[in-house]
Structure 1
Amino acid sequence: MRKRVKPIAGIDLGSSKITSVIAEVLPDEVIIRGINSTPSKSIVKGVIRDLNQCAAEIDASFSGAVYSSGIHVEQVHLAVTCKDLVSVPLAGEIRLDQAKNEITQEHIDRLLASIKMPRRDGQFALLQRIVQEFEVNKTAGVRNPLGMFGERLAVKVQDVIGPEWLLNNYRKALDRVGLTLKSLIPSVLAAGEAVLTTEEMNTGCVLLDLGHGTTDLALYRDGSAVYTDTIPVGIANLESDLMQGLGVSLHEAQRIRRSFLKAWISLNQADADDIIDVKFYGHNEYAKVKKHKVMEIVLPRLDEWAQLVKRGLRESGLLETIPGGVVLTGGGCYLREVTGFFQQHLGKPVRIGIPRGYSHLFEEFRAPQFAAALGITSFARREEREHVYKPGFLENVAEVFMDFLSRLGPRERKEPPTD
């Protein structure tokens, strides 16, 4: 009989839904024991607007996952997104005691601990530290220096930081329902673990997580993320524009978006004069509206969406070094012709990223909008397998997050089965 392994629990805090996952993680597979997704109304673009309501929504979501799994877990990994998250490149180096000294985990921990965030306006905390590459003596591009010999050990990292008040609010919401925060993970990095292949990570690709309130982007190269950013535009903006432009309810705007809206549209296309049924606010009967009126309302927002994504990628300064294509995930993938839209604007091949490699998962959850929630378990597995520098989490918040998580950069992983 197989020995039961310690379960991993994750919660993806989204603007439209909160998804909770409880899984058992084995060396070659992730077994989903419980998963539940419930609506979210207390979070707007990653920011908690009502702490009591947020705690209640987390409780409803997580309780469902506990019930379906039959496993009680108190420590959770949290996937979050917010426009206030910032990606900062940093570097550090140490001198080794002797030229023939073998590099140990203690050396790596000391090196990572020596990297301090520069002072910024306001108090910022570290959400995730991504190791890009090590350098031993003057040899760059070292993936894992453990066991090597040298006089000098250096590292380049990418720190994802956010305001302390934001992260403290997440912790407090969990505390209110008896849960302890084990780690914070940017949603886009969690999603990457679920939908990207090893080849895409190593060759280089762009990941776009098309969410309800925000769009998260990450650039991968040599096996790890080298840049992340959050754009404050998502599917909710299109629905809001339809509400105001047509004078309809939110429910009706969502119906129109799901039924008729396309990402790649033109006022000159053949079906622009087609008639659609619209129920105006306060009316019981549907009215006839030409499709081009809907197009005129959303075209400016679609153009803004594309331009902000392009600007975010350009600001990384790394886009030209990424030879691969673009992978889309998140609920925005259900927008019609969204792949052609981003392929046209970014000039790269585009595919939809579907979570792979998860056993005992209902088909309804094997979908782009659940990539971040499922990816939390894969991300946490990697942290626990690798030697990761982590000070005590419950120490002083400013110190904790400045030195919180470290990952040893590019790595090999076993490909999930294709099914």
Structure 2
Amino acid sequence: MTALILGSTVASATEVEPHSYHLPSQPLAVSLRAVAITSGRSIVAPADLVNGKRAPSLDGDFTPEEAIAALLVGSGLRQRAVGIGLIIERETAAQDVSAEANGSDIVVTGSRIRGAPVASPVIRLDQEAMRDAGQTSLADVARSIPQSFGGGQNPGVGANVGSANGINVGGAATINLRGLGSDATLTLLNGHRLAYNGSRQGIDVSAIPLGAVDRLEIVADGASALYGSDAVAGVANIILRRDYDGVRVEAEGGLATEGGYSRQRYGMTAGTRWRSGGIIASYEFARSTDLLSDERSFARTRPGVIIFPPLERHAIVLSGHQALTDTLTFEADLLFNRRKTEIGFPDNPAGDLSVSHTEQPSTSRSFAVAPALKLDLA
């Protein structure tokens, strides 16, 4: 990092006398240099911070600190005293987080202190960001998160993978932060815990229609001190649209560019809002074909194996809230999911499915209810 050392005259530690300045609007580096020469104070300003920035005009009698504060107004920079010198630096990240927190509610928090900034960085993906990335389901979103390992409970995990590292449980898709296992990532819905599925302790995020999701917030660092052992890898909070008013119909289809795989998805989301509450309902149907190893060059040495299983699912979510009094609110989230899938592989070295093979079809149903009463003590 290149830094500009502006002024080198040693001044007394107790010298705070004001000096007279008559500086026009000019490049910030030039104005800082003038203040350093006039005041005799050493000022260190990284070149990448001050280059391209202009300082306002300065006219009057000021101490060095007052003069620099006036020059840095609106620049996003601040001064910090080190000994008898001054360093120019960016405004602290904590101030940025605090300013952002004042503008919108943050449901996932890493502190028990109300209003405290989150200690770990929060990954925030809203509906628009998901769709701009071409993701059409929460399963696609979970697999695209850099901190989320593709193992755990996810479709496409092969039978040759040890169950400690990954397994396909009926086509369920889970968030597996840091690869520590799906049961090490606490997955919440509107801040509420959900029951694990019937095997391997995971939350199937594909059971939630994307049309009902407002955003996904992830704390990708360990949070077990606050949430317990199921948050060793981090916390993911799926936040549904709260006050959606209208109807939205969606249809999507796609084919793999190399062939051998296709999918389709249809969805409908409707909601309404009244003075003391609101409700939203969303339904999604999706179907995709299987992808065989014969259809990809990197897997043809083991023919007849299903790389990605066929999936068919119906997902419904219903969420509502109603103010009972000025301080008491009732909320409830309901989920239903029905999914069919199949995995298979040949039982002979030649990979000939017509000679012998194993098929493992599965059908799963899940239902979840998460009611809550919220009391505002403020």
TM category (shorter chain) comes to: under 0.3
More strand by proportion, 1 or 2? 2
Normalised TM-score (structure 2): 0.25
**Which structure's residues are more often helix, by fraction?**
1
| Structure index of larger Rg | 2
TM-score, normalising length: structure 1: 0.23
> Which structure's relative contact order is higher, taking Cα pairs within 8 Å and 6+ residues apart?
1
